[in-house]
């Protein structure tokens, strides 16, 4: 990877991080049908290293998000819901939930948060912070992330911990730690407890070779 101006990379990462946490630095990350939909898929062959099959990409507020024909989300609208109870469904849920939460425009974010987030202090803090800012436009293409890959670090049918890797126009790469829980028949995002002051976004030199690569949008 070629060297890049430090001030440019730092500025781009700062702006993108702000977008991905709804500009409040609380966590990493930003339907037409039922908001509590979700499909329980057989888990006879659980393989966290397998990529989701039949993935297509859809633009949401300037960021391309992966949508799996088999692993979800199966219900798309103001919110995204309906993920398979598999490592692949968990990964797609984490990516979609965190990005949609971060970029949901004014008037839509309360519904997105209600469907996507696990209740608790972290959600309450996020809601309070989001209410103090305004998002009315899509992400700037200069700083918009490209979701490149993910790596599941721990998985059970009820919880998945993973790292999501995103690349940017200045060649910088971020690694974002995310957790989803299976609640009410779907995967929902568990934000980091703000009191723990955990750093969930880090700059990394490269995407690990053992990460699950997502095919580039066409």
At 23, the pLDDT band (50, 70, 90 cuts) reads very low
pLDDT recorded at residue 198: 84
For residue 72, whether the previous peptide bond is cis, meaning omega lies within 30 degrees of 0, is: no
pLDDT recorded at residue 9: 43
What are the two backbone dihedrals, phi and then psi, of residue 92, each rounded to the nearest 5 degrees? -65, -35
Confidence check: pLDDT of 10 > 70: no
Per DSSP, helices labelled H in 57-133 are 87-103, 109-116, 121-130
pLDDT recorded at residue 42: 40
Confidence check: pLDDT of 1 > 60: no
CB 188 within 8 A of CB 116: yes
> pLDDT tens digit string along 66-88?
999 999 999 999 999 999 999 99
> pLDDT tens digit string along 193-202?
888 888 899 9
pTM of the model: 0.81
What are the two backbone dihedrals, phi and then psi, of residue 10, each rounded to the nearest 5 degrees? -65, -45
CA distance 94 to 97: 5
Q: Which of 180, 205, 176, 203 is nearest to 191 (CA)?
A: 180
pLDDT recorded at residue 194: 84
Confidence check: pLDDT of 65 > 90: yes
- Greatest pairwise CA separation for the chain in angstroms: 49
Average pLDDT over the chain, rounded to an integer: 84
Q: Is residue 6 within a helix (H) or strand (E), and if so which, with residue range? A: helix 6-20
At 34, the pLDDT band (50, 70, 90 cuts) reads very low
Mean pLDDT on 161-168: 98
Q: Write out the DSSP string of 7-74.
A: HHHHHHHHHHHHHHTTTTTS------S-TT--B----TT--TTSPPSSEEEEEETTEEEEEETTTB--
Local structure of 32: helix, strand or coil:
coil
CA distance 183 to 11: 37
Mean pLDDT on 139-168: 97
Mean pLDDT on 38-52: 69
Residue with more model confidence, 10 or 111 = 111
Handedness of CA 110, 105, 26, 190 (dihedral sign): positive
Confidence check: pLDDT of 188 > 80: yes
> pLDDT tens digit string along 91-147?
999 999 999 999 999 999 999 999 999 999 999 999 999 999 999 999 999 999 999
CA distance 37 to 96: 15
φ/ψ bin of 123: left (φ > 0), alpha (ψ from -120 to 50), beta (otherwise): alpha
């Amino acid at each position: 990877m070629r060297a890049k101006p430090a001030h440019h990379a730092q500025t781009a990462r700062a702006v993108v991080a702000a977008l991905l946490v709804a500009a409040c630095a609380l966590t990493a990350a930003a339907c037409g049908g039922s908001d509590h939909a979700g499909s329980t898929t057989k888990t006879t062959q659980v393989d966290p290293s397998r990529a989701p099959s039949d993935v297509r990409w859809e633009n949401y507020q300037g960021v391309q998000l992966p949508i799996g024909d088999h692993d979800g989300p199966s219900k798309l609208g103001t919110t995204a819901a309906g993920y398979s109870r598999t490592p692949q469904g968990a990964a797609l849920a984490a990516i979609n939930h965190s990005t949609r939460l971060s970029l949901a425009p004014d008037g839509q974010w309360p519904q997105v948060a209600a469907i996507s987030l696990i209740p608790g202090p972290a959600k309450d803090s996020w809601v309070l912070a989001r209410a103090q800012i305004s998002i009315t436009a899509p992400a700037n293409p200069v700083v918009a992330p490209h979701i490149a890959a993910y790596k599941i670090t721990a998985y059970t049918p009820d919880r998945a911990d993973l790292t999501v890797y995103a690349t940017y126009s200045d060649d910088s790469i971020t690694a974002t730690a995310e957790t989803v829980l299976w609640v009410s028949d779907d995967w929902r995002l568990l934000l980091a407890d703000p009191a723990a002051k955990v750093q969930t976004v880090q700059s990394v030199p490269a995407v690990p070779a053992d990460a699950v690569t997502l095919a580039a949008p066409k």
